[in-house]
Structure 1
Amino acid sequence: MSAPTPPLVEAHGIVKRYGPTVALADGRLTVRAGESHALVGRNGAGKSTLVQVLTGLQAADAGTLTFDGEPAPPLGHREAWRAKVACVYQKSTVIPELTVAENLFLNRQPHARRGFFSWKKLDAEARELLDTWDVRVDPGAPTADLKVEDRQMVEIARALSGGARFIVLDEPTAQLDNREIERLFARMRALQDSGVTFLFISHHLQEVYEVCQTVTVLRDARWITTAPVAELPRPALVEAMAGEAVAEQAAAAAEAVVEQAAEEAVEPVVLEVAALTSDTYEDVDLTVRRGEVVGLAGSSGSGKIALAESLAGLHTPTSGTARLDGRVLPFGDVSAALAAGVGCVPRDRHEQGLVTGMSIGDNSTLSVLGRLGRRGFIGTESRRRFARELIERLDIHAEGPDQAVSDLSGGNAQKVVMARALASDPRLLVLINPTAGVDVKSKESLLRRVDSARDDGTAVLVVSDELDDLRRCDRVLVLFHGRVVAEHAAGWADHSLIASIEGVSSDVNP
């Protein structure tokens, strides 16, 4: 009797630490040849770290990884890794200025006799490769001209040309519409029939049930379960991702918000959005009342961040309207949005939130320079005095307003960004991932500012991937593929919100 065939890929007991942070405490994965295997979990569950280990970008601190029963290659042996596994990331890695053929054979172009480069041979080998895997694009076309789905197929073909038959697809549907997603799935099934194996990473659980045979769940940096998709009902999958006791914690954390909402009278509408549409969201209607905190939740491709950035003046929608206190809110102009009464904490404090060469005082008062002087002249002492008040108000741990903002910890730097957003006494406060990358104490301090803004009568819009940020909200709207698909009142259970974010109903079987 012959021995059973080993798994195509098997990872067991994978541990990865970055200093004191444990990014992966117990990573496990067993993938059989020819299947599409889903890897799911909330943000921070350890998916990206496990993929980095699987693709040879990082070495595990502990654990084992095998391909076809053989140990993984040494970390520096890139050719050996390319022959075993490849990853197609959500953000394309093709070079748009090059043609399809040039991208397919980048750094390994075919040569004719005597070592001279051959365009004719490049075109012929590119056509042969594309035909072999039924990728219907012109090898001479500039990659920049291709649709997103075709760029993905070029990346898959490039990976297969190196010998790999195990392809990791990292959020491949995030930028695709429904028709393009169906075409991608059809191509995946055809490639599976040709012997290709996929690891499919997605925040959209209904896609797991459509295209995958097996699913592995990670939670809190640990393996939770691996099961055939057909035998795992959706409520059980959501529960595995969310944890069993989290719903009770969510209810307790939001109890104060529920009680407060029940006692308060209905306040006037401050923000009114009607049929707002762009390339990433569609036909969005929402309102935020005076003293109300509304959350926006959704996966990375849901459109939630683009929607919030539009309201803060960073983008211009293609249609629809937004009114602040009854007046039309200007789009595509941050200064005009600020003047209209919008304060914003942007999604990236390093790129969008701080001028690192300036002091705390300079950064925190950028939005109110007109108040601190006359005819373009700004009094140094008046700016320092105003900045000191903000430092005290936000509990920023610093030597004073003249300290360079680049010297601050991540939590205190984020408080400076929050201070500037609050300095203008906004009517609408837009917070995008307001506690990302900060310590626990700073996170709680920042969230208390949300409570203070509510008490002051400010309308607040919170966009976040963190459930703790959303617990402070009076209600949470969920976007899925650019549309508002659900609304959850304060006191929601984690599994219900996660089910909406993933595009499934937690009480419906597949």
Structure 2
Amino acid sequence: MTPDATLEVREVRKHFAGVQALDNVDLILRPGEVHALVGENGAGKSTLIKLITGVHRPDGGAVHYRGAPVAFSGPREAQAAGISTIYQEVNLVPQRSVAGNLFLGREPVNRFGLIDRRRMHREARDILARYGITVDVRSRLGELGLGVQQMVAVARALATDAHVVIMDEPTSSLEPREVDLLLDVVDLLRQRQVAVLYVTHKLDEVFRACERVTVLRDGRLAHTGEVAATDRLRLVATMLGRDVDFVRRHGATTFTDEHRTAAGPPVLRAEGLTRAPRLRDVSLDVHAGEVVGLAGLLGSGRTETVKAVFGAAPVDAGTVTVGGLRKKRWDPAAAIRGGLAMVPEDRKAEGVIPELSVRDNIVLAALPRLSVAGFVSERRRAQLVDTFVERLRIKVASPAQKVRELSGGNQQKVLLARMLCLHPKVLILDEPTRGIDVGAKAEIQALIDDLAEQGLGVVLISSDLEEVVEGADRVLVLRDGAVAGVLHGDGITEEAVMRVIAS
């Protein structure tokens, strides 16, 4: 083990059902060092955290902690040894008090073996005061804002005698003032010689708070080095697997906020969408027959934008106009009636219903249109399903086959068929080709082109820069929840997108 390391990961490998999640990854955490871990979706960040904390066992390699090899049985054992993890989603009990959450599982007791609430409240106030948090420790955690809840989660993790603190996207739900407070806590940990693994998608925080940075890409170690010796453009290019020297040789591509000339009014217009702290004054419009791409790193606000447009997430400010109707608050049912349809990012959790048939999955959203006096016309339903199975070339034994038995690409086509049954004016596609094979990917990309040529407006989100660059007429580049730039026509290149992200 490296002599000055608190924790060292050596050549760890992890394989899941045909996927190499980690492939010979190394990581060293030193006392008093804040080490950033970055990478896009599927890079292996979460798997690495789970190997360190005992959720998973590595298939190869080893984890050393404080001079000795370790194989924790789970997060509880890791925490008892001094490795605390603060997750992106607050993992506490909202019905319990702030103090009750801080001391969950380790409540102080009196000589009769009962919880000493007076002592617990006093010590809870003292703990929170160290981190500048002023709150009634007797109040229910769920009644407080997300920012306060996250800080309570941080305080709980740090209340133990931690030698390593893993922070997994700790500022994702925080306001700027709360981010400043949390980074002050990070600095306090540095002074106490605690090793911090800081997992984030926010480049500003990497350069503001971290000494070293490790980049994972597709389960492999892409880069480890000093933050001071790494510029933003190189970091972005490394995360995305692109050649930064090519970008530099070709110089900056100009970008503008002016929209391209399009015939007629937009079929969709979103103005000033704001949802603190994830969205900041985002505006976009889509014309008939136009493909508008949303590009940016993980956490830049792409999915949050389309969910706000579709009414699947609330906004603090802003309006959405669909079919000439302008509203601040939409819901998905109203958005669908207005002419919007959306294929979500996570087809398994938010899309297909695996135990239903292909037929039932396709017609699910169109049932009101297929029914008369509450009865569904079987003939019309069969015709609709047959039409889209043929049109989208869905490979299926029969429409009665369960959708879970299909390949990922064919499941995605079933979702597309469901949305196209609605005859939308605008189709929102969030990562439509993620996790599918090359052949199915090419078919879906060709289908998007065909739909646009037929006059459908399309909003396309993809982490694959090549897919956005080749498929979009206009690209909005998002960074930290705001539009950083808009690219048009010949100005849409991978290099230009990376430059806007890194600017």
Show CA shifts across 1:322-343 (max 9, x none). 3334443684333332222212
Q: CA deviation at 1:469?
A: 4.3
Q: Which residue is 1:270 aligned to?
A: 267
Q: Which residue is 1:305 aligned to?
A: 303
Question: 3-state SS of the aligned residue for 2:270?
Answer: strand
Q: Give the aligned length.
A: 487
Matched letter for residue 217 of structure 1: V
Question: 3-state SS of the aligned residue for 2:94?
Answer: coil
Q: Which residue is 1:59 aligned to?
A: 57
Instruction: Mark the CA change 1:499 to 1:90 in structure 2 (over 3 Å): closer, same or farther.
Output: farther
> Pick from 193, 196, 205: which aligns with 1:195?
193
Give structure 2 stretches of 5+ with no counterpart. Answer: 248-259
Q: Which residue is 1:488 aligned to?
A: 487
Aligned residues of 2:78 and 2:84 also touching (Cα < 8 A):
no
Instruction: Mark the CA change 1:487 to 1:70 in structure 2 (over 3 Å): closer, same or farther.
Output: same
Q: Which residue is 2:255 aligned to?
A: none
Instruction: Mark the CA change 1:313 to 1:226 in structure 2 (over 3 Å): closer, same or farther.
Output: closer
Q: Does structure 1 residue 17 correspond to structure 2 residue 15?
A: yes
Moved more, 163-172 or 236-245: 236-245
Quote the RMSD (CA, aligned, Å). Answer: 2.9
Q: CA deviation at 1:476?
A: 1.9
Counterpart CA distance in 2 for 1:204 and 1:39 is: 11
Show CA shifts across 1:172-207 (max 9, x none). 122223222222212211232123221111112121
Q: How does 1:123-138 map to 2 (within 5 A)?
A: 123-131=121-129, 136-138=134-136
Aligned residues of 1:331 and 1:337 also touching (Cα < 8 A):
no
Show CA shifts across 1:355-386 (max 9, x none). 44543223212333455454443321221121
Q: How does 1:124-163 map to 2 (within 5 A)?
A: 124-131=122-129, 136-163=134-161
Q: Which residue is 1:254 aligned to?
A: none
Moved more, 407-416 or 388-397: 407-416
Instruction: Mark the CA change 1:243 to 1:10 in structure 2 (over 3 Å): closer, same or farther.
Output: same
Q: Which residue is 1:37 aligned to?
A: 35
Q: CA deviation at 1:468?
A: 4.9
> Pick from 75, 82, 85: which aligns with 1:84?
82
Moved more, 212-221 or 368-377: 368-377
Q: Which residue is 1:359 aligned to?
A: 357
> Pick from 286, 308, 319: which aligns with 1:321?
319
Instruction: Mark the CA change 1:168 to 1:384 in structure 2 (over 3 Å): closer, same or farther.
Output: same
Moved more, 141-150 or 201-210: 141-150
Instruction: Mark the CA change 1:53 to 1:47 in structure 2 (over 3 Å): closer, same or farther.
Output: same
Instruction: Mark the CA change 1:393 to 1:294 in structure 2 (over 3 Å): closer, same or farther.
Output: same
Counterpart CA distance in 2 for 1:468 and 1:321 is: 31
Instruction: Mark the CA change 1:401 to 1:137 in structure 2 (over 3 Å): closer, same or farther.
Output: same
Q: How does 1:378-389 map to 2 (within 5 A)?
A: 378-389=376-387
Counterpart CA distance in 1 for 2:125 and 2:341 is: 53
Instruction: Mark the CA change 1:69 to 1:136 in structure 2 (over 3 Å): closer, same or farther.
Output: farther
Aligned residues of 1:127 and 1:139 also touching (Cα < 8 A):
yes
Aligned residues of 2:291 and 2:473 also touching (Cα < 8 A):
yes
Question: 3-state SS of the aligned residue for 1:310?
Answer: helix
Q: CA deviation at 1:490?
A: 5.7
Instruction: Mark the CA change 1:190 to 1:135 in structure 2 (over 3 Å): closer, same or farther.
Output: farther
Q: Does structure 1 residue 179 correspond to structure 2 residue 177?
A: yes
Show CA shifts across 1:13-60 (max 9, x none). 111111221001121111110011111122222211111112221111
Give structure 1 stretches of 5+ with no counterpart. Answer: 250-263, 506-510
Q: Which residue is 1:477 aligned to?
A: 476
Show CA shifts across 1:303-322 (max 9, x none). 33232123324345444333
Matched letter for residue 267 of structure 1: A
Question: 3-state SS of the aligned residue for 1:112?
Answer: coil
Aligned residues of 1:303 and 1:482 also touching (Cα < 8 A):
yes
TM value normalised by structure 2: 0.87
Counterpart CA distance in 1 for 2:167 and 2:211 is: 15
TM value normalised by structure 1: 0.86
Counterpart CA distance in 1 for 2:399 and 2:59 is: 43
Instruction: Mark the CA change 1:363 to 1:246 in structure 2 (over 3 Å): closer, same or farther.
Output: farther
Q: Which residue is 1:497 aligned to?
A: 497
Counterpart CA distance in 2 for 1:343 and 1:76 is: 42
Aligned residues of 2:317 and 2:328 also touching (Cα < 8 A):
no
Moved over 6 A (4+): 246-249
Instruction: Mark the CA change 1:318 to 1:137 in structure 2 (over 3 Å): closer, same or farther.
Output: closer
Aligned residues of 2:237 and 2:244 also touching (Cα < 8 A):
no
> Pick from 390, 396, 399: which aligns with 1:398?
396
Question: 3-state SS of the aligned residue for 1:282?
Answer: strand
Show CA shifts across 1:88-110 (max 9, x none). 11111121111122112212222
Instruction: Mark the CA change 1:321 to 1:66 in structure 2 (over 3 Å): closer, same or farther.
Output: same
Moved more, 165-174 or 177-186: 177-186
% same residue = 36
Counterpart CA distance in 1 for 2:23 and 2:499 is: 25
Instruction: Mark the CA change 1:46 to 1:455 in structure 2 (over 3 Å): closer, same or farther.
Output: same
Instruction: Mark the CA change 1:7 to 1:281 in structure 2 (over 3 Å): closer, same or farther.
Output: same
Question: 3-state SS of the aligned residue for 1:321?
Answer: strand
Question: 3-state SS of the aligned residue for 1:383?
Answer: helix
Matched letter for residue 485 of structure 2: A
Q: Which residue is 2:250 aligned to?
A: none
Instruction: Mark the CA change 1:337 to 1:238 in structure 2 (over 3 Å): closer, same or farther.
Output: closer
Q: Which residue is 1:258 aligned to?
A: none
Matched letter for residue 479 of structure 2: F
Counterpart CA distance in 2 for 1:128 and 1:173 is: 23
Counterpart CA distance in 1 for 2:138 and 2:499 is: 43
Q: Which residue is 2:453 aligned to?
A: 455
Aligned residues of 2:366 and 2:421 also touching (Cα < 8 A):
yes
Counterpart CA distance in 1 for 2:466 and 2:342 is: 20
Question: 3-state SS of the aligned residue for 2:63?
Answer: strand
Q: How does 1:388-427 map to 2 (within 5 A)?
A: 388-427=386-425
Show CA shifts across 1:447-497 (max 9, x none). 222112112111001233343542322222122333211223467444543
Counterpart CA distance in 1 for 2:75 and 2:239 is: 35
Q: Does structure 1 residue 295 correspond to structure 2 residue 303?
A: no
Instruction: Mark the CA change 1:317 to 1:78 in structure 2 (over 3 Å): closer, same or farther.
Output: closer
Instruction: Mark the CA change 1:265 to 1:285 in structure 2 (over 3 Å): closer, same or farther.
Output: closer
Q: CA deviation at 1:150?
A: 3.3
Q: Does structure 1 residue 435 correspond to structure 2 residue 433?
A: yes
Instruction: Mark the CA change 1:305 to 1:404 in structure 2 (over 3 Å): closer, same or farther.
Output: same
Q: CA deviation at 1:406?
A: 3.9
Q: Which residue is 1:26 aligned to?
A: 24
Show CA shifts across 1:427-452 (max 9, x none). 11111232344344333332222112
Show CA shifts across 1:244-283 (max 9, x none). 449989xxxxxxxxxxxxxx98433322222333444232
